[in-house]
Chains A and B, each alone.
Chain A
Amino acid sequence: DIQMTQSPSTLSASVGDRVAVTCRASQDISRWLAWYQQKPGKAPKLLIYDASILQSGVPSRFSGSGSGTEFTLTINSLQPDDFATYYCQQYNSYPYTFGQGTKLEIK
């Protein structure tokens, strides 16, 4: 199975900050990576797929980059609504696997 490791596990930031979350795959997954946002008590929401393509309706302050084994989700100018948990997921090969999550907290 492909292991997905996110860092950091927790990130403290302020409104207006620029933050980055990293996701590393245990083997090459090309660009087959998605990012999700989840708020407490809610279903995950797709933000980015194919490593860098923004899902329709997602604000442009979110961006994704990377290929192979290392990927980054960047959020520019954090808004209050962005404080949530973020997950990466590879869909290169079965079983599709998620990272353990990164909780973005208000500093």
Chain B
Amino acid sequence: QVHLVESGGGLVKPGGSLRLSCGASGIAFGDKYMGWIRQAPGKGLEWVSFIDGTQTIIYYTDSVKGRFTISRDNAKNSLFLQMSNLRIEDTAIYYCARAPRGFGDSWGLGTLVTVSS
């Protein structure tokens, strides 16, 4: 049974930074694509970023390029999203997901990021 748990969300001022973490258990983490998907309050879903097992293939949606950095520690079965220069429009629930081929087949419960002054 795949189990993903996000942490690190919270309230931050515009221009601030946060680091999200996702711990994984129950999967062979190292060889799986993993990613972050967000959902603004009352809105739909958006792929933010994903990364392959060797950190060779990395994708960012245009709106976060240059501000967000995805990484992983396969030895610790962990996925990270370093977010800087946060904007109000980055406010959302951020989900960690296993994404073997571009779709999320297992999801965490999500962590809420609120950007507000």
Contact = CB atoms under 8 A, between A and B. Distances in A.
Interface of A: 32, 34, 36, 42-46, 49, 55, 87, 89, 91, 94-101
B23 interface: no
Given A43-B95, A43-B109, A43-B110, A91 B103 contact: yes
Contact of B101 (A91, A94, A97): A91
Nearest to A99: B44
Contacts, number: 49
Nearest to B46: A98
Contacts of A46: 103-106
A44 B106 CA distance: 9
B100 to A, nearest CB: 9
Interface of B: 37, 44-47, 59, 61-62, 95, 101-110
Given A44-B104, A46-B104, A95 B109 contact: no
B103 A89 contact: yes
A94 to B, nearest CB: 6
A-side binding surface: helix, strand, loop or mixed? loop
Given A95-B61, A100-B44, A45 B103 contact: no
19 contacts: A32-B102, A43-B95, A43-B109, A44-B37, A44-B95, A44-B104, A46-B103, A46-B105, A49-B101, A49-B103, A87-B44, A89-B45, A91-B101, A91-B102, A95-B59, A95-B62, A96-B102, A97-B47, A101-B45
Contact of B44 (A42, A43, A91, A101): A101
